[in-house]
């Protein structure tokens, strides 16, 4: 390679030397600068020249070096994602939605997993991703500690928080947790249930708090009794273990559970206790996990559109990368109530 050759390496592919930009230029009879302009869709290339270069690229099976493109454009076309505990359905599905949206836009994704969403771990993960050349960073931030950490990210880093709460200091894309919980609660009240109990998620989770607010405000607006709150930890086990308390309490006919896994555990306990769902007690979950339609009975639940969440995050992040300015937008993704067989009209004898 000569001194004036573009910054590419001659690597092996399929047992032969991979073509580089000078090979394309030679075959097309143009300079490597012209090939670069074609690759970056510059308008300053004649149509015939562009077609000749594209044909040479096809013949040589030329694939531009990501390193070379980064040197030319100043961008790696890689996005960073800070995530944790991807065994939980929400964070795992959010990550998948982000990866799909990035892939569709021609971006790669680099993931930094953290054991906890403490300020130090989140700030360090963002720094590591930036040091690796990420053009921007998405932080899956369902806990208050993660939101606090994002306030310490310098404004020159394009960043978006998923969930993140109503914080004006950072750009946020969030599912309408409040609206989804309100819809679940209204559905049960519309079926004639005098009130609705709630099995909430753990403290410090923004989603849990917003679902509590949606449930509680709907009961207040309806002018009905507000039962005491029950807390789980998102697991099916915690839903199962709260079952005895619900069964011992007289008059319970409807329960809104903050996620489908806890609802699954509660359904199991009610079955073992001889309580029919929905004849005796109606149950609504939240998430619409793929298995929810196959529970016994199939679970009425709130669907979150994680594909839309990924697309909105990407749009907001790329806008910051293009403009060079921090956005302070708060984008909300709507939910949808999916009615199945776990809810029914309130028992008449209650």
What does the radius of gyration of the chain's CA atoms come to, in whole angstroms? 26
* 40, pLDDT greater than 60: yes
Q: Is the pLDDT of residue 42 over 80?
A: no
Percent of the chain clearing pLDDT 70 (strictly above): 89
pLDDT of residue 198: 98
Is the pLDDT score of 14 beyond 60?
no
Q: Tell whether the model's pLDDT for residue 204 goes beyond 90.
A: no
218 pLDDT higher than 80:
yes
pTM of the model: 0.77
Instruction: Establish how many alpha carbons lie within 13 A of residue 160's alpha carbon, considering only the half-sphere containing its beta carbon.
Output: 29
In our burial notation (b when 16+ CB lie closer than 10 A, e otherwise), range 126-147 reads: beebbeeebbbbbbbbbbbebb
For the chain, give every residue range classified as CATH 1.10.260.40. 12-73
Calpha distance 159→92 (Å, rounded): 19
User: 3-class DSSP state for residue 58?
Assistant: helix
Quick one: pLDDT at residue 8?
A: 45
- Per residue in 111-134, pLDDT tens? 998 888 888 888 899 999 988 889
Q: Which fold has domain 78-176+306-334?
A: Rossmann fold (3.40.50)
Residues 340/201, Cβ–Cβ less than 8 Å: no
Say which residue, 293 or 86, is predicted with more confidence. Answer: 293
CATH 3.40.50.2300 in the chain is located at: 78-176+306-334, 177-304
| Nearest to 241, CA basis, from 274, 208, 265 | 265
Query: Does domain 177-304 correspond to CATH entry 3.40.50.970?
Result: no
Structure tokens at 23: 């090979």
pLDDT range class, residue 24, cuts 50, 70, 90 = confident
Inter-residue contact 17 to 62 (CB < 8 Å): no
How far apart (Å, rounded) are the C-alpha atoms in residues 300 and 5?
62
Which CATH class, in words, describes the domain spanning 12-73? mainly alpha
pLDDT (tens digit per residue) in 292-327:
999 999 999 999 999 899 889 988 998 888 888 888
Q: How many residues does the chain have?
A: 350
Of 250, 182, 174, nearest in space to 207 by CA: 174
- Count CB-CB contacts under 10 A for residue 280: 16
- Angle separating helix axes 47-60 and 32-39, nearest 10 degrees: 90
Backbone dihedral angles phi then psi of residue 72, each to the nearest 5 degrees:
-75, -45
**What would the two tokens of residue 264 be?**
């699954």
Q: Which residues of 85-98 are buried (b: 16+ CB within 10 A; e: fewer)?
A: bbebbbbebbbebb
Pick from 274, 209, 217, 268: nearest CA to 243: 268
């Amino acid at each position: 390679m000569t001194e004036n050759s573009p910054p590419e390496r001659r690597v092996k592919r399929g047992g032969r030397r991979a073509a580089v930009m000078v090979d394309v230029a030679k075959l097309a009879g143009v300079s490597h600068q012209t090939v670069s302009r074609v690759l970056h869709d510059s308008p300053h290339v004649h149509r015939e020249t562009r077609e000749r270069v594209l044909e040479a690229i096809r013949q040589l099976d030329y694939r531009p070096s990501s390193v070379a493109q980064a040197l030319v454009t100043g961008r790696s076309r890689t996005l960073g994602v800070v995530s944790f505990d991807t065994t939980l359905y929400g964070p795992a599905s959010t990550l998948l939605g982000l990866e799909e949206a990035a892939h569709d836009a021609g971006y790669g994704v680099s993931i930094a997993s953290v054991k906890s969403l403490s300020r130090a771990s989140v700030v360090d993960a963002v720094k590591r991703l930036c040091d690796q050349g990420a053009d921007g960073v998405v932080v899956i931030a369902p806990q208050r500690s993660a939101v606090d950490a994002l306030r310490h990210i310098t404004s020159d880093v394009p960043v978006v928080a998923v969930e993140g709460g109503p914080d004006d200091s950072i750009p946020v894309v969030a599912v309408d947790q409040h609206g989804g919980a309100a819809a679940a609660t209204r559905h049960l009240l519309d079926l004639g249930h005098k009130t609705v109990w709630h099995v909430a998620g753990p403290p410090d989770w923004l989603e849990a708090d917003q679902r509590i607010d949606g449930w509680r405000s709907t009961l207040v607006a309806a002018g009905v009794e507000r039962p005491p709150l029950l807390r789980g930890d998102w697991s099916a086990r915690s839903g199962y273990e709260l079952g005895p308390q619900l069964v011992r309490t007289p008059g319970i006919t409807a329960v809104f559970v903050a996620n489908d896994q806890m609802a699954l555990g509660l359904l199991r306990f009610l079955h073992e206790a001889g309580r029919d769902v929905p004849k005796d007690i109606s149950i609504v979950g939240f998430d619409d996990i793929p298995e929810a339609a196959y529970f016994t009975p199939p679970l009425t639940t709130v669907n979150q559109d994680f594909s839309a969440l990924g697309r909105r995050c990407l749009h907001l992040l790329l806008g910051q990368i293009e403009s060079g300015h921090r956005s302070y937008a708060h984008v909300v993704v709507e939910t949808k109530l999916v009615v199945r067989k776990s809810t029914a009209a309130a028992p008449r004898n209650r």
